[in-house]
Amino acid sequence: MRIVIVGCGRVGAELAHSLHDKGRDVVVVDQSSSAFDKLPADYGGRRIQGDALTRETLIRAGIEGADGVAAVTNSDTVNATIAQIARQRFHVPRVVVRNYETRWVPMHEAFGVPVVSSTLWGAQRIEEILEPRTLRAVSAPPAGEAGLYELVIPDDWAPRALRDIGPPIGWTAALLNRSGRGSIPSPDSEVRPGDVILLSATPDAADEVRRRVENGG
C-alpha cells in the first residue's frame, strides 16, 4: 500500500513513522527540507522536497497509483486543495485532510472528504471531561443521517435488556464493552451500570436513547 503524506509537521512525521513501521510504502512531501528533521531516525520511507500544489511534485511523490493521501499541512486551504487534486485529478481512493478552522468542515463533508479536526475534537473532548455526558458522538453525522455514538450506562441504572434502552427503530448496538472486555450484543443482552455501548443511530433515535438512560428508562 502506497501512502503519500503532504506536510511533515509533528502530525505528518508521526503518521509517516507509524505507517512505515507497519510496512506501508510511505512518501512524505514538504516544501522545507528542515521539516524532515522531525522524522525519527529509523524512518526508512521516502522524502520529497517541493511544492505539493504542483503536478510535478505530486508525481515525483508517486501519487499516480497511490492508495491513500493524507493532507496534514498547517494550512486548511492547502489541505483542501490537495484533497481535491488527489481525488479528482489522480483518483486516489482514500483521501483524508487535517483541519484547523472548523468553518471548513462542512465544505469537506460536502465533497465527501474525511476530516480530522484537531480543533473540533479537542474542544469536544475538553467539554466531555469538564461536563461528563451519557452519550457522545464518535462521528458526527450529517443532518438526518446515522452516526456512531458512545453510550455510558450510569451507576444508578437498573439492569435490563438492551432492546429497552431505545426506541423500536433507528438504532442498533455494534459493541458492548464491560470491564474492558468487548462483545457483540444481541437485543436480549443485559445492560448493566458502567457498560459502554457503541451505537449506530439516527440523531433522533440517539436523543431518545440518551433521554431514556438519563431518566432511568
CATH number at residue 87: 3.40.50.720
Q: Which of 61, 92, 121 marks a domain boundary? A: 121
| CATH number where 192 lies | 3.30.70.1450
Q: Which domain holds residue 147?
A: 133-214
> Is residue 106 located within the same domain as residue 140?
no
Beta bridge partners, 2, equal: 25
pTM of the model: 0.66
Residue 126 resides in a domain: no
Residue 141 to residue 163: CA distance in whole angstroms: 23
Percent pLDDT > 70 in the chain is: 94
- For residue 145, pLDDT beyond 80: no
> Is residue 115 located within the same domain as residue 143?
no
pLDDT tens, 93-106?
999 999 888 877 77
For 198, list phi and psi in degrees, rounded to 5: -95, 120
Residue 90 to residue 79: CA distance in whole angstroms: 15
Residue 127 resides in a domain: no
> Is residue 15 located within the same domain as residue 90?
yes
Give me the pLDDT at residue 128, please. Answer: 64
Place of cell 423500536: 168
